[in-house]
Structure 1
Amino acid sequence: MTDPTDQRRDRILAAAREVFAREGFRTAEVKTIAETAGVGKATIYKFFQSKEQLLLVIVEENLNQIRDIALRHLISDAPPLARMERACRAIAAFIASNRAFTRVLVQEAGDFAGDIQRQHLTLIEQNLPLAEAFFSELRKDGYFTALNTRETIQMMMNLIIGTAYTWALTGSGDLEEQASDYLRVLINGLRAPANKG
């Protein structure tokens, strides 16, 4: 049975995401979030110290969901490049499903960039051993030999985040297709030349 406290917290986070997406982070009011969640304003402050903390918790949960999506696709029996493309497409689809909130992050969360970056880097460090095993498979075939695993992950995240940034601001194109196309260019550009002899 689910703890009613957890249900209230989940409702608050869902309401905050909705209100931030609709009204923008700076203009959104805690009172509106409370009304949308069906709780009192004081209840929000039992779980979260501030509106800023609400945003950071939502970002952290999004990063965790992205990690889970990536792991689900990277751990399979498919060839490594196919797994990577599926993971990239699934992450892009997740970001695309949260377009309004993504736009809020891109346009208004600059004040929290340091906190968001710390969350992102912590997540990378926590998953480095698995990533190392995955990229070792690819390196056997001559892929991703130019950078170490940490740098490769960072580059790929920059690719996805940069693509999402442009997509959120312009509203044009299919994010999933763009991310997949850019990944293919990246992979083909980083493949070591075949030995001739």
Structure 2
Amino acid sequence: MNHENKQQAVRSMLKKLSQVKREEGGLKSFVMRSIRLDGSEEEILEEMAQWFLAVRDLSKQGALPSRFSLSEFIPVFCRIAEDKNIGADRFFSGVLEKMVLESEEVLRGAPKPSTKDKILDAALDVFSEKGFHLATVDEIAERAGVGKGTLYRYFANKETLFNELVQLRLDELEKSAMAILDGEDDVLTMITKYLRVYFEFFDQNQRLYRLIVQEGLDVGDQVQDLYFKKVMRRIPLLKRKIYGARQQGLLKDVDFHTVFYGVMGFMHGVIQKWLARDCSYSLVEELPGVVEVLFYGFVNTSKFVESQN
């Protein structure tokens, strides 16, 4: 995830921060639920450093809730690093290294967004504010700072522009998801990582997805169908991993396709609940409960047995 997307993820998480107790324990618990702490030591260090710098940038922008300051996050990240046997010194070395790289990019001159990227960013803003049907090409061109003729050189019409906006986001999701599905993790770890990537995608692209749903655009069903097809390409690998897990006694002997579509349907049910509640919380916060239900069900077996006796 690039730095801009990380900032968006942090901003989404901060919607819940007003409910966190001011004590360090409450803030630490919030941060640990929000960031990704699985993977290798290097991956955890990279994730923590990215989040810390994203919090720093939001603090500089005045986007942190007034109840909190950057200084309150510093001991929290130190404690988490120590819990992961990374050590505060190593954590801050990683942060410093990233800051140095940032400075070098500034000195070299960070690459400017292309005209096409400016148009796509402006389109998302205008679509989100006005809705797809009420948004006009003139407004998008004006927001992007380009002439209408320039916009038409890149996109034939408003529909083409919107479809490319969706496709670009889907390509990002596919790349992240396929890296997990093509990995060497055991099947349960793979599913957990896959769910996280999927929920992170909706957290970071909630404006686009809400637009699709609220406007009743046909592309909504196309997004889901297209994504299913992309995932289905990896089914042979998933089947092999599931077969191995069955041989080890980790999984029950159930029909693969029933489970696959059941999992996808459950995930979209969780997303629909999130949309119904106006995306007021992070989907990633739902992950532990989702994994618990998918892997172990929602019935307390011992209590159920007692009730039947």
TM bucket by the smaller chain?
Answer: 0.7 to 0.9
What SS does the aligned partner of 1:26 have? coil
Q: Given the alignment of the two structures, is residue 43 of structure 1 paired with residue 135 of structure 2, yes or no?
A: no
Work out which of the residue numbers 157, 162, 186 in structure 1 matches 2:294. Answer: 186
Q: Given the alignment of the two structures, is residue 85 of structure 1 paired with residue 192 of structure 2, yes or no?
A: yes
What SS does the aligned partner of 1:124 have? helix
Give the aligned residue type for 1:81: L
**Residues 200, 283 of structure 2: 8 Å contact kept:** yes
Aligned residues with identical type, % of pairs: 28
**Residues 120, 161 of structure 2: 8 Å contact kept:** yes
TM-superposed deviation, 1:95? 1.1
Whole-Å separation in 2 of the counterparts to 1:26 and 1:139 = 50
TM-superposed deviation, 1:188? 2.0
Describe the superposition over 1:38-80 as per-residue Cα deviations: whole angstroms up to 9, x where unpaired: 3222233333332222222222222222222222334444432
Q: Given the alignment of the two structures, is residue 66 of structure 1 paired with residue 173 of structure 2, yes or no?
A: yes
- Please say which of residues 93-102 and 41-50 is displaced more in the overlay: 41-50
In structure 1, stretches of 5+ residues that fail to align are 1-5, 190-197
Change in Cα spacing, 1:52 to 1:157, as seen in structure 2 (3 Å) is farther
Aligned pair count reads 184
Give the aligned residue type for 1:175: L
Whole-Å separation in 1 of the counterparts to 2:169 and 2:155 = 17
TM-superposed deviation, 1:167? 0.8
Give the aligned residue type for 1:107: Q
Residue 56 of structure 1 is matched in structure 2 by 163
Residue 120 of structure 1 is matched in structure 2 by 227
Residue 98 of structure 1 is matched in structure 2 by 205
Higher-Rg structure is 2
Residue 116 of structure 2 is matched in structure 1 by 9
**Residues 163, 179 of structure 1: 8 Å contact kept:** no
Work out which of the residue numbers 284, 288, 309 in structure 2 matches 1:176. Answer: 284
TM-superposed deviation, 1:91? 1.9
Residue 24 of structure 1 is matched in structure 2 by 131
Whole-Å separation in 2 of the counterparts to 1:125 and 1:76 = 16
**Residues 180, 193 of structure 2: 8 Å contact kept:** yes
TM-superposed deviation, 1:145? 4.1
Give the aligned residue type for 1:182: V
What SS does the aligned partner of 1:57 have? helix
TM-score normalized with structure 1 length: 0.74
Structure with bigger RCO (C-alpha 8 Å, 6+ apart): 1
Whole-Å separation in 2 of the counterparts to 1:187 and 1:101 = 30
**Residues 127, 211 of structure 2: 8 Å contact kept:** yes
Change in Cα spacing, 1:47 to 1:137, as seen in structure 2 (3 Å) is farther
Q: Given the alignment of the two structures, is residue 163 of structure 1 paired with residue 273 of structure 2, yes or no?
A: no
Q: Given the alignment of the two structures, is residue 148 of structure 1 paired with residue 256 of structure 2, yes or no?
A: yes
Whole-Å separation in 1 of the counterparts to 2:146 and 2:239 = 44
TM-superposed deviation, 1:134? 4.1
Residue 8 of structure 2 is matched in structure 1 by none
Give the aligned residue type for 1:165: Q
Residue 33 of structure 1 is matched in structure 2 by 140
Residue 3 of structure 1 is matched in structure 2 by none
TM-superposed deviation, 1:176? 1.0
- Please say which of residues 60-69 and 75-84 is displaced more in the overlay: 75-84
- Please say which of residues 6-15 and 177-186 is displaced more in the overlay: 6-15
Change in Cα spacing, 1:24 to 1:183, as seen in structure 2 (3 Å) is farther
Moved over 6 A (4+): none
